Amino acid sequence: MSGWLTGLVGKKILAETGNNRFGQEDPYFEEVPASRLYRAFGKKTKKQQKAVPPGLSDNDAKVLTKVKRRAYRLDYSLFNLCGIRFGWGSVIALIPFIGDGADTLLALLVLGTCEEIDGGLPPSLRFRMALNIAIDFLIGLVPFVGDLADAIYKCNTRNAILLEEHLRQKGAKALAGRGTEQGQIIDMSLGEEFDRNDRHDRQELGIIDNSPK
């Protein structure tokens, strides 16, 4: 039973297979910042620079990609309803009695993935991430309205953004230790830098930008 459940979560909900190194390697999520996970990935027309903070180790970069991928699957991947994106977490939360608990367990799974960075998470950051999950759980306890608010709150994406910000600071320290200034390297994990590059690409291709701001 546990093996079947693990397979369901891994293959169906999180879509992690050997082809993407079980979520560690995926071009879509390597090229999109955590703060821009709402973007429609299928509309990209050419390969872009990796949206990974400069100065990270290979392990930290892979963990960040996996966290962004899981956050997208849980918060955005299924459908759009009245301008709100729903993912697997939002739908699972609708299941009577067990939905909110299952959604929280999946969010804790994402938090556990965040812990896999080199040296683990600082206690203060772990607390902020756990608080996001707790708020998400409490919101979801309110019938129907809470489930809608849960889809809007998106605790997994919030935690992916927190991880990305922490790794950006960590990468900057690593670069400083090598005598490299962070300003010398374009950081495509910054939402503003990603937007600027994306607008440039769309202008070159004559595409009207209707993406949400």
User: Residue 13 falls within a domain, yes or no?
Assistant: no
Say if 189 falls within a structural domain. no
pTM of the entire structure? Answer: 0.79
The reply to whether 88 falls in a domain is: no
Alpha helices in the chain (DSSP H): 2-7, 27-30, 58-75, 88-92, 99-114, 123-140, 145-153, 155-177, 191-205
On whether residue 127 sits in a domain, the answer given is: yes
Kindly state whether residue 48 falls inside one of the protein's structural domains.
yes
- The whole-angstrom distance between residue 84's C-alpha and the CA centroid of its chain comes to 17
Asked whether residue 27 is assigned to any structural domain, the reply reads yes
Task: Report if residue 207 sits inside a domain.
Answer: no
Range of the domain at 37: 21-82+93-178
Domain membership flag for residue 63: yes
* Overall number of domains in the chain: 1
**Residue showing tokens 């400069």:** 54
- How do the pLDDT tens digits run along the chain, 213 residues long? 444 444 546 555 766 665 555 455 555 566 788 888 876 554 444 455 567 888 899 999 999 999 999 999 999 988 888 888 899 998 998 888 898 999 999 999 999 999 999 999 999 999 999 999 999 999 989 888 888 898 999 999 999 999 999 999 999 898 887 766 555 567 777 777 777 766 755 565 555 554 444
**DSSP 8-state secondary structure symbol assigned to residue 50:** -
